Structure 1
Amino acid sequence: MAIHKLDIGEFDEIDYSLIAIHTSLEDYRLAYFINQKLHVNLNKSKKEIQITVKEGEAHFSRFHYYEMKKDVSWDLIQNKNEVIQQQNENNQSLFSNVNIEVATKVYMLPEFKKVDYFLKIENSENDLNIVKLQNTLNTIDNIATIYLVDTNKIKSKNNLIF
């Protein structure tokens, strides 16, 4: 009888590229421009990325495209969002017993707080030229900067598993 062993290191392998995007564009407009420039078909995913943080539940929008010919998966992910918490004020004033809504900024990858969106490209071994892709994305108006993220320096890698 054959024994098949799995090494934990096999599961720790990173098989995606992550591009950080700084822009003032809304997510749907950015997806539209990326679709035009890169000839992909990013669509709004019904499955938003849900992350539990100490402030509460955070939902991040996601645009997804799966390229069957090359077996490449594209995801445009929002990095910044707000969690609204209800706080009850019990003090003796004119506005006593008033519920106050407090909005707190939450980040998908907290170590990259200035990044607005991430473009995650999975299974893109040698087919994709990242430098050419970055140059093409830099031609989109209202994008301030784009750069490749070193995936080994990401502390919250688990947030990218979806």
Structure 2
Amino acid sequence: MAVHKLVLDTIFDEELYTLIGIHCTLEDYRIAYLLNKSLEINLKRKPMDLDFNNGKSAYSVFEWKDHKHLRTWNLVSNICKREEFQDRSEASLFDIQTPIIKIFNLINEFKKVNYFLKIENDFSDSKEKYIINRILRIPQVVTAYSIDMSQLKSKNNLIFS
């Protein structure tokens, strides 16, 4: 009996998308508003945040589906700050819990990036540079740059649906 082998490598290629890292200290709703204004898009907050580690870390996600160009734009925060209480081990008359702030990152390779702008469907280099230049014109943005997908080990964290 003949053995048939199916190769599915060409069917399940990686999803094509552009990823831009944004450094700024603004709140998520403010940067979404400024990106909407600057890029003439319509990012809106998704009802559910991106949840990891059973609620230990949650990241805000803004989304816009561009039906005209068949693209989906996502703005996601990379930093989650969470206050936890730690018991002191000192002998004391009273139980003292000290609050500590733990910082979690969505993409550990880029800990300094505050937000990622993910645009599904690949752009040409000139269109990508145009978008980055428009983002850099926002006064509150420190820097923005394109991120090479081959550098990411945790690219599965960028799957939002």
SS of equivalent residue, structure 2 residue 132: helix
Matches within 5 A, 1:22-33: 22-33=23-34
In 2: Cα distance, 1:41 partner to 1:157 partner: 25
Offset of 1:123 from its aligned partner? 1.8
> Contact 1:82/1:105 (CA < 8 Å) preserved in 2?
yes
**Matched residue, 2:131:** 133
**Matched residue, 2:42:** 41
Offset of 1:12 from its aligned partner? 4.7
CA offset digits 1:117-154 (Å, max 9, x no partner): 11000124559810111111111111111100001110
> Contact 1:18/1:148 (CA < 8 Å) preserved in 2?
yes
Offset of 1:10 from its aligned partner? 3.9
> Contact 1:91/1:97 (CA < 8 Å) preserved in 2?
no
2:140 counterpart letter in structure 1: N
TM-score (norm: length of structure 1): 0.85
In 2: Cα distance, 1:113 partner to 1:9 partner: 33
Offset of 1:6 from its aligned partner? 5.9
> Contact 2:18/2:123 (CA < 8 Å) preserved in 1?
no
Runs of 4+ displaced beyond 4 Å: 3-6, 125-128
SS of equivalent residue, structure 1 residue 36: helix
Offset of 1:106 from its aligned partner? 0.7
Matches within 5 A, 1:69-108: 69-94=68-93, 96-108=94-106
> Contact 2:22/2:115 (CA < 8 Å) preserved in 1?
yes
Structure 1: runs of 5 or more not aligned? none
Indicate which of 136, 149, 152 corresponds to 1:151.
Answer: 149
| Change beyond 3 A, Cα 1:127–1:6 | farther
2:77 counterpart letter in structure 1: Q
Offset of 1:38 from its aligned partner? 0.9
State the identity %. 35
In 1: Cα distance, 2:10 partner to 2:83 partner: 39
In 2: Cα distance, 1:36 partner to 1:89 partner: 48
> Contact 1:72/1:124 (CA < 8 Å) preserved in 2?
no
SS of equivalent residue, structure 1 residue 129: helix
| Change beyond 3 A, Cα 1:51–1:128 | farther
TM-score (norm: length of structure 2): 0.86
Q: Does 1:63 align with 2:59?
A: no
**Matched residue, 2:18:** 17
CA offset digits 1:80-119 (Å, max 9, x no partner): 111333333353224x423333221111101101111110
SS of equivalent residue, structure 2 residue 92: coil
